[in-house]
Amino acid sequence: MDICFEILIPVESTVSAVKFKTPVYEWDGVEYPQGPEEAWIHYLKIIKSDIPAHVLSFLPDNLKKVKWQCISIVEGMDELVEEVSIEGEMIEKESNLLDLLDLIVTNEKKWVVIFEPDCDRIDEVIEGDINFAFRRIVKSLKVEVEGFVMWFNRDGK
């Protein structure tokens, strides 16, 4: 199953726990940038990418005005599906997925998680916290395939 999985955080945010690097190609001693900034968290490869245009229409009005940066999970979803399938009831504190979410959004006052099975399925638009997002993703991978856009806005602005 193809899965599109993005996390939006405000543009002014820095994710200091994640060391993004621009991949380079070296030729004749000169390095040439190759693509967007990327990082690995466990087996999950993340990149800084463009915000999927259709997603903004799902957000509440006060979040549509926020300038977002997008972090996309582009590799490792098969391993995540396998981890969820093998573990049965995944222990939250030991989950690579929860670790990823925690590293990116824990210190943020507002964020958005987009989880789209087959990259074209949003069944629900909801408000929630990091643990709720984690449980919804696991449920979608294990029980009933559902896509969602989830937002969190601590300050309400």
* Per-residue CA distances from 120 to 15, 84, 86, 89 (Å): 28, 22, 26, 27
* Residues 87 and 134 sit within 8 Å (Cβ to Cβ): no
User: What residue type is 139 in one-letter code?
Assistant: K
- Rounded to 5°, angle at Cα 72 from 25 and 79: 90
pLDDT of residue 150: 96
Amino acid occupying residue 137: I
How confident is the model at residue 123, as a pLDDT? 94
Distance CA 102, CA 5 (A): 15
Q: Domain span at residue 144?
A: 3-153
Q: What is the pLDDT of residue 94?
A: 61
Q: Which ranges of the chain have pLDDT less than 50? A: 92-93
DSSP state of 102: H
User: How many distinct structural domains can be found in the chain?
Assistant: 1
pLDDT at 12: 93
| Amino acid 140: pLDDT | 87
Res 1: pLDDT: 65
